[in-house]
Chains A and B, each alone.
Chain A
Amino acid sequence: MNHLILLNLMEGGCVAMAGSACVPSLRRFQHPLIGLTLGLGVGGLLLRSWESFRLGYGHFPSANLFEAVALLTVFCVALLWWVGREAPALVGSTALVMLLPLAGFLTYAEATGGADLKPLMPSLNSIWIQIHVPVTVLGYATFIVAALASAGALWNLRRGASDAPYTAATVRLLRLGFPLFSAGIVLGAIWAYTVWGSFWAWDPKETWALITWLYYAAAFHMATNPRRFALWMIAGLPLTLFTFIGVNYVFAGQHHFGLL
């Protein structure tokens, strides 16, 4: 289980990022820390893939909730690497609000056996899982980080400071995430047609993904008002988290395998 060592170190990196946000003198180490955490996370995922192939299961980590959350964590860190320089406080807020709980979740999953490498059930044993899941999870990650960037923008607006860096970060993230999320939904529909013979079955995950898509499509229609836009993006965070993780627990459906 060498990959778990790297993923544990990545979780440590997330904790260190949160810590650096609380200690002003450490903030200059934030960006190298993001790079290190990202490297550990990517390394952990690649190593897990390699171990999966070695065991004959042969899949990129995208098949259960542990792997999806690990992907989400790595993607969030990667997005911080992308936009973190322009919006430095975003690194700390994301680390405190999202990365710490995600790291805690991964630790809990490891402790309860949810991180064990398992073979894929037949319906998941497809190349599509390695396309649909990462694309969609990257979409979720952009929405999450964008919500936290919007919180920074709103905070600055309330203080009378410039919201420009945070709004710009939100815009960059949303402009990346929305096409990816759209593509993720379409790719999922194509995969569903291959596996179940049906593009769209109003499965709870599909339905809530559509709701999330409509929600962020609506965001583009209100981007003229920075305050309203920031509030809308922040309010999207619980919706995104519910679609990503909550639906699996609340509703029974085709995505029910995504549980610990």
Chain B
Amino acid sequence: MRIGLTYRVTMRQGLVLLALLGVFIGLETLIAPGPSWTRSVVGASEGVLFLLVTLVLVASLAQRIGQIRTAFAGSSRYGVGLFHLLRSTPHGPFLVLHGGILLLIVAFGYTKSGAVEAVMELPVGGESRTAVLDDGRRVTLPFTVRANAFDTNHYDTGEVRQFVGGVALVDGDQVLAAQALGVGAPLDYHGYRFSLFRYGYRGSRVTGSVRPVADPARATAYDAVVGNGVTMSDGGEIRLADLVEHTTRRTPDGDRDVGRAVVYEVPGRDGARYEVMSFESASHVVDWRRAGVREFESVNLLRDRNAARALPFDDYLTISTIEPAKAIGLQIRYYPGLWFLLMSASLVVAGVAWMMRFWKPPVASREGGGNTLVPRKTAGTA
């Protein structure tokens, strides 16, 4: 390879670089709990070695292509020439293998650079179009993901055979795709792959009623998971923000065991949002505060009607049940160069198999510096 000067790549250089790269990758796994500067040093060394291996691969390919340029001379078409080259010259396996490795490096870089690697956790019945990237940033998907169901299949002996999570991709009212996901049975849609990777109970499902403060008798049933919202008939939304545990709490009725409470956000008449806490065992009592304010104020909605009417919001929740909610975790992947990656990896394997030709007896070739491992006609410098 000519880079201002003539440079000849040797097998020994390839060997040393491969061995060093292996050593540093091994070091990286061994020093994982160590101080951060060691990881930086090893990471930087890996990067440099990886670059050098790539350069040596390019140089050795260029070197080899220079040697076999004459193989193209007799062919009328490039494609036929390449086929002839691969079939009939000793350089074919070398080209396929080393070219495959180079393509794999390029494919890996291309795929990683445009990839979306994110996770999303959805309670059954919940939906979202926001996923969390591996580095913690959030990404908005071009569609909404809805978790419809979750179940488990069992062996006769009782062990779990498969987790099944029903997932639908929706855009407005239109269902784009729907499938029962299992572990190893992902949903593919327009290059996105949704894999079920976590399953079990996450968060709480709350059932109860939404009641106007001014007329508590008018109840609308609701069923929602903490973290999600309840859309009201007037288009507003009450969002269940949190589930908190209380044992004894001072209320307008005195100290009492109030059990668990749901904190929800509700729009106020003044346009601000309010945080309200409804208690499981005393749901006619609410604590409320303007979002961001520290102290809650308590009102017994049934006993103190004047105070209730003075509340700055129109609706409040009463709680019937609080139960653990089933949830599924989705791994979301979008790899733009997927086929490129697969083809180049296949090329590497094919190149290795072709170069090794294990179905033929080995030809030892000590004299002349040939490679003893491969049939003599494929031997040569790297």
Contact = CB atoms under 8 A, between A and B. Distances in A.
Residue with the greatest number of chain A CB neighbours at <10 A, chosen from B156, B356, B370: B356
Contacts of B195: 194-197
A177 to B, nearest CB: 8
Contacts of A119: 155, 157, 159, 161
B376 to A, nearest CB: 12
Contacts of A217: 18
Nearest to B119: A197
A197 B160 contact: no
B358 A224 contact: no
Given A56-B156, A175-B357, A211-B26, 19 more contacts: A118-B159, A119-B159, A121-B159, A122-B182, A171-B364, A172-B361, A175-B356, A175-B358, A186-B345, A186-B348, A186-B349, A195-B195, A197-B193, A208-B26, A215-B22, A218-B19, A220-B371, A222-B15, A226-B366
6 contacts: A171-B373, A174-B356, A175-B358, A175-B373, A221-B15, A229-B372
A181 to B, nearest CB: 9
A259 interface: no
Contact of B352 (A125, A178, A215, A224): A178
A142 to B, nearest CB: 9
Contact of B183 (A122, A168, A175, A186): A122
A197 B186 contact: yes
B29 A224 contact: no
Nearest to A215: B22
B25 interface: yes
Contact of A223 (B14, B28, B357, B372): B372
B12 A171 contact: no
B18 A218 contact: yes
A214 B21 contact: yes
A210 interface: yes
B382 interface: yes
Contact of A222 (B12, B117, B331, B362): B12
Contacts of B374: 175, 220
A189 interface: yes
A98 B122 CA distance: 49
Interface in B353-382: 353, 356-358, 361-362, 364, 366, 369-374, 382
B346 interface: yes
A221 B29 contact: no
A221 to B, nearest CB: 4
A151 to B, nearest CB: 17
A122 B373 contact: no
Given A186-B348, A198-B333, A125 B162 contact: yes
B72 interface: no
B184 interface: yes
Contacts of B131: none
Contacts of A194: 184, 186, 195
Given A167-B364, A175-B356, A122 B382 contact: no
A120 B153 CA distance: 12
Contact of B358 (A123, A172, A220): A172
Contacts, number: 144
Interface string A103-131: 00000000000000011111101101000
Interface string B194-217: 110100000000000000000000
Contacts of B335: 199
**Interface secondary structure of B, over-half rule:** mixed
Interface string A151-167: 00000000000001001
Interface size class of A (residues with CB under 8 A): 35 or more
A179 to B, nearest CB: 4
Contacts of B184: 122-123, 125-126, 128, 194-195
B92 to A, nearest CB: 15
A141 to B, nearest CB: 14
B15 A218 contact: yes
A167 B194 CA distance: 49
B332 interface: yes
B352 A122 contact: no
B356 A178 contact: yes
A251 interface: yes
Contact of A182 (B163, B194, B349): B349
B197 A196 contact: yes
A120 B160 CA distance: 9
Contact of A125 (B161, B370, B373): B161
B11 interface: yes
Interface in B156-198: 156-157, 159-163, 182-184, 186, 193-195, 197
Given A168-B364, A195-B183, A224 B157 contact: no
Nearest to A247: B29
Interface string A186-215: 100110011111110000100110110011
A185 to B, nearest CB: 9
Contact of A122 (B162, B333, B346): B162
B319 interface: no
Contact of A179 (B162, B342, B352, B366): B352
Nearest to A214: B22
B145 interface: no
B345 A179 contact: no
B183 A221 contact: no
Contact of A197 (B161, B162, B332, B358): B332
Given A179-B358, A195-B184, A197-B332, A220 B162 contact: no
A114 B261 CA distance: 47
A224 B366 contact: yes
Nearest to A171: B362
A50 interface: no
Contacts of A197: 186, 193-195, 197, 331-333
Interface string A9-35: 000000000000000000000000000
